[in-house]
Structure 1
């Protein structure tokens, strides 16, 4: 009995296991997308099967193997699976073409530019797969179809059923939007999308160019900050829809990583703060708004750096702080305008659009519509409206400034009219005074004419006296010049013959130039002959030396003299020579050293050199002056 129960239990267990296995097989059968006549587009986002490879170790051969097919699950949500951002997400697409039209071709489109890596596998007739990889982290031209989205041609003919696989690597929990489109629908959809985006960018660029033109003409920073804001929004849009990657930096995918919400948001907020401050300042000067703007920009920059390098806050907290940073100078500016009774609703609503752009672009989880394409592009019309509203606020400000200018002109005209009336009154009074003054001046002029005749006569006499004085001055100058030369010659003779102290001696030979000049005149008083070639023509060189015109040899005044290779100032050597030749003065070496501020050994050495020169030429102090020893050359 026990054995029978055991057999029954084993039989029932086997049947239950078979049923469960069969149920699993039924549940995990591939989801098939059927292409029928009259159908041109199918959204297949939830008609796929997926497998999450958490270890990222499986290849296409493993994934496509029959024993692996039951591991796929049906896609029930546009996000497919949340989190697991570091894992490979495999998806399976089975397409069955049941059309009768053989001229129809089909494309698979993965909408959305910001998929990190998208690898599509095409089945080959031999059972293998052809691989094509794209993504915002790879060069754009590696794609089979050069389109901002990920598009693949499905070579599935009528009556055929093919299974495609693709592997996705994500950077955030994005909602996927996959379509199977006919060739005509694919082209019309692409053209319409590019046309609308081109219109969007065209309007923004026109507004940017117009404001740059105003900046060049008016030299006002308001029309430079606003283009900076427009440029930041254009850059944000180009990085969001993929057109920048397709047309501007296709070979530099690393730029796509710069187009994240933090960098773009920082540029937009800084440009908005500068633009808003300048907008307020053009209405009314406010130091408080200016200081609040500077502090807000500095705080935003610190918050950005903290998010990147220090600590990344939860995005709701981050957005709250960002709103406070923007709201404080914005509210202060509105309060300042309200005090002046200036209201600009376009400016207020433009700021509201800016807040919506920041929230919506930073948080990719906000879903206002069921269609992910509409959710993604919703920020574009908001930016468009924001730029239009800011432009309206600028136009309104220009009109306000024009009205202010017109009113100022009116006030100035009234002031000018009053001034003209006063001027006419003053002119009438001035005419009477001028008439009386003119009569008085005419009388004075007749008197001055008489006195002028007298002055001319006096001037003629003064000119004669001046000529006589000039002749006398010329005569006195010539006498004075001769007297000065006589005094110089007499002084020099005194220096050569009589006793002078060092201070008086320095008046005759005050510096080395005077010594060199004296030595040059003494050395070549007869004539000059070159020591090298004997030529007698020369040019005067430095320190009153002479350079031969024939061989270009330069000879210094000290060469072959007592002062050759002198190691201390030559004017002091002159005085030592002068003292040595005097009989009435007998100074010791210490006294000479103290007077000339030279070392005793230096004075002794030069004095000894003088004694040798005296012996060489048999010098007589009574008959010869000290200058005769200057030209003695000692080997």
Structure 2
């Protein structure tokens, strides 16, 4: 009996110990504590993960207490380097220690190229809700319409919640997970979109400028460069998710073009054609042309083989691609050096292209500790490549100018030689007249020979004159194009600065310009009649619109801040423009003197602007001054 009691107590004590140990292991989870005053935490290696090789577990099983022991701490930003066909479950336990209720927390998975990511957030009843997104799913499935994967964490001060992510990736990528407050999230998003806007803006300007050169000069060099810029823009749009967000949100299959090497094929073919035409403009070389032709053909065959026949290992494919670019480039560079033409911008632009290709394929290369810098480093190289190729084109203008100077020198030498020959002939003729008559026949023969030389010289002069005339015409066209480009760029730069009233009047010189701007702003989302709601109209005087149904005529100023304005609208525009600038604070007297208005008039309109700002809760940092123009004060 005692033996039985001893065995019973031993089994009971062992079970209690095992249960206690299991509870302790299940509670050993990595926790993320958001302390008061902290607005951003990078949490890539502050998570736990579980590899679901069979993709068989639902969220209820994953979130159960008994399953938590299967999670392991994340020790590397890649989480795992293999098992690409398996789902990775990520557990994120967050504690909010903020004292203020005014800070919301957002989770962000930075980067666009995650194939599929499911975010599970807890409900009050203990269940979990799911939100799916990824580059293989339509964009509208995202709750926050952002190019990255962002989710709102409904986490109040003092609360601790556990969230789960199920990730399906297409390559061994490095994950960059962050938690930000709402203020930090907005600032980060605006900065990122602003820098991308500058990047794409410069590329589009270069694209438009070269399109204009192609239309004017009909030179295929600019057409190939346009193709290269277009391919780089497509590559960037597909890489950062901007294209998916704004251009093809309902067509996720377009995102696969970057993974299928289609854009890379367009970039390489356009570069080869551009490089060949660039070399041919300096020196006619059949060898460079033939090598370019074979390089394009081999690249097309390699691309077809990669997709339909046999897929090479990416390092091998990268080596073949670099060789395809390097051989024609080396031959072209040799021909330039042989002709004593040194275009360093062309060489460095090609080096940038090689760097872009290597860096794009070798996604495991990290030059910086910051994952954002590592990702956007390619954009800087593409930007530099386009600038350097543009400099190469401008260097060709200098080459044409040098040719023009050389032709003038040759023309001068020919004229000097012609004068010298004429003097020699005159001298000899004087001597022949005084000489004996028996040498007349010999003099006639000499004269005939000199006439032949003069005719040959004159023909050469005519050819040189024709070349000089053609070069002058080409230089005049190039100078005109450059002046027009400088004027457009100067105007664009001027509008980005703060303007005084005289410069502001150059942008809005009269009331017609202001009415036109206000009309386009007011009806940018289509016209609807205020009386009957009809959407068809005809143009009226001073950019007004008349309804085709009820014949109601509506002025651009109706239901705007300028309704029933008693002084010139262009002056009202300037007052509204100044009200949105924090760096300019004119007194009413100064504003009255500048605009030649009564002080009371300026005060009344500024008060009206203040009421409009208060009505729409206007933010000078986030909104432009034109957003106040459509505010209607009754």
Q: TM-score band, normalised by the shorter chain?
A: 0.5 to 0.7
| 1:151 aligned partner | 150
Matches within 5 A, 1:235-634: 235-260=234-259, 262-412=261-411, 415=414
| Residue 21 of structure 2 corresponds to residue 22 of structure 1 | yes
| 2:574 aligned partner | none
Alpha-carbon distance in 2 for matches of 1:45, 1:147: 20
| 2:37 aligned partner | 38
Deviations 1:520-573 (A, max 9, x none): xxxxxxxxxxxxxxxxxxxxxxxxxxxxxxxxxxxxxxxxxxxxxxxxxxxxxx
Alpha-carbon distance in 1 for matches of 2:16, 2:264: 57
Distance 1:383 1:24, change over 3 A: farther
Alpha-carbon distance in 1 for matches of 2:196, 2:416: 57
Alpha-carbon distance in 2 for matches of 1:48, 1:370: 19
Displacement of 1:45 in angstroms is 0.9
Q: Is the Cα contact below 8 Å between 1:28 and 1:71 reproduced in 2? A: no
Q: Is the Cα contact below 8 Å between 1:261 and 1:361 reproduced in 2? A: no
Displacement of 1:30 in angstroms is 2.4
Distance 1:24 1:237, change over 3 A: farther
Alpha-carbon distance in 2 for matches of 1:420, 1:252: 75
Displacement of 1:396 in angstroms is 1.1
| 1:122 aligned partner | 121
| 1:50 aligned partner | 49
Distance 1:290 1:163, change over 3 A: same
Contiguous gaps of at least 5 residues in structure 1: 427-635
| 1:567 aligned partner | none
Alpha-carbon distance in 2 for matches of 1:425, 1:205: 62
Alpha-carbon distance in 2 for matches of 1:217, 1:52: 60
Matches within 5 A, 1:194-233: 194-233=193-232
| 1:583 aligned partner | none
Q: Is the Cα contact below 8 Å between 1:28 and 1:73 reproduced in 2? A: no
| 1:515 aligned partner | none
Indicate the SS of the match to 1:325: helix
Distance 1:218 1:17, change over 3 A: farther
Displacement of 1:113 in angstroms is 0.5
Alpha-carbon distance in 2 for matches of 1:73, 1:189: 31
Displacement of 1:405 in angstroms is 2.3
Alpha-carbon distance in 1 for matches of 2:244, 2:130: 22
Displacement of 1:406 in angstroms is 3.0
Deviations 1:193-246 (A, max 9, x none): 011111111111111111111111111111111111111111111111000100
Alpha-carbon distance in 2 for matches of 1:193, 1:201: 12
Alpha-carbon distance in 2 for matches of 1:421, 1:204: 56
Distance 1:79 1:409, change over 3 A: same
Q: Is the Cα contact below 8 Å between 2:86 and 2:168 reproduced in 1? A: yes
Alpha-carbon distance in 2 for matches of 1:27, 1:340: 75
Contiguous gaps of at least 5 residues in structure 2: 426-634
| Residue 63 of structure 2 corresponds to residue 64 of structure 1 | yes
Q: Is the Cα contact below 8 Å between 2:224 and 2:274 reproduced in 1? A: yes
Distance 1:425 1:199, change over 3 A: same
Indicate the SS of the match to 1:289: helix
Q: Is the Cα contact below 8 Å between 1:32 and 1:96 reproduced in 2? A: yes
| Residue 170 of structure 2 corresponds to residue 180 of structure 1 | no
Alpha-carbon distance in 2 for matches of 1:88, 1:352: 39
Displacement of 1:367 in angstroms is 2.0
| 1:490 aligned partner | none
Q: Is the Cα contact below 8 Å between 2:26 and 2:65 reproduced in 1? A: no
Quote the RMSD (CA, aligned, Å): 2.8
Deviations 1:153-174 (A, max 9, x none): 1111111111111211111111
| 1:78 aligned partner | 77
Q: Is the Cα contact below 8 Å between 1:94 and 1:161 reproduced in 2? A: yes
Distance 1:17 1:383, change over 3 A: farther
Distance 1:214 1:153, change over 3 A: same
Deviations 1:451-484 (A, max 9, x none): xxxxxxxxxxxxxxxxxxxxxxxxxxxxxxxxxx
Q: Is the Cα contact below 8 Å between 2:117 and 2:168 reproduced in 1? A: yes
Distance 1:420 1:42, change over 3 A: same
Q: Is the Cα contact below 8 Å between 1:34 and 1:98 reproduced in 2? A: yes
Alpha-carbon distance in 1 for matches of 2:209, 2:16: 75
Distance 1:70 1:419, change over 3 A: same
Indicate the SS of the match to 1:259: helix
Alpha-carbon distance in 1 for matches of 2:415, 2:226: 40
Q: Is the Cα contact below 8 Å between 1:110 and 1:178 reproduced in 2? A: yes
| Residue 160 of structure 2 corresponds to residue 161 of structure 1 | yes
| 1:472 aligned partner | none
| 1:234 aligned partner | 233
Deviations 1:499-530 (A, max 9, x none): xxxxxxxxxxxxxxxxxxxxxxxxxxxxxxxx
Q: Is the Cα contact below 8 Å between 1:350 and 1:387 reproduced in 2? A: yes
- Tell me the number of residue pairs that the alignment of Structure 1 and Structure 2 aligns: 425
Higher radius of gyration, 1 or 2 = 1
Alpha-carbon distance in 1 for matches of 2:207, 2:416: 43
TM-score (ref. length: structure 1): 0.63
Distance 1:94 1:283, change over 3 A: same
Q: Is the Cα contact below 8 Å between 2:211 and 2:226 reproduced in 1? A: yes
Displacement of 1:29 in angstroms is 2.1
Indicate the SS of the match to 1:375: helix
TM-score (ref. length: structure 2): 0.63
Indicate the SS of the match to 2:229: helix
Displacement of 1:32 in angstroms is 1.5
Distance 1:38 1:285, change over 3 A: same
Alpha-carbon distance in 2 for matches of 1:109, 1:307: 35
Alpha-carbon distance in 1 for matches of 2:26, 2:153: 26
Distance 1:413 1:11, change over 3 A: farther
Q: Is the Cα contact below 8 Å between 1:116 and 1:137 reproduced in 2? A: yes
Distance 1:405 1:18, change over 3 A: farther
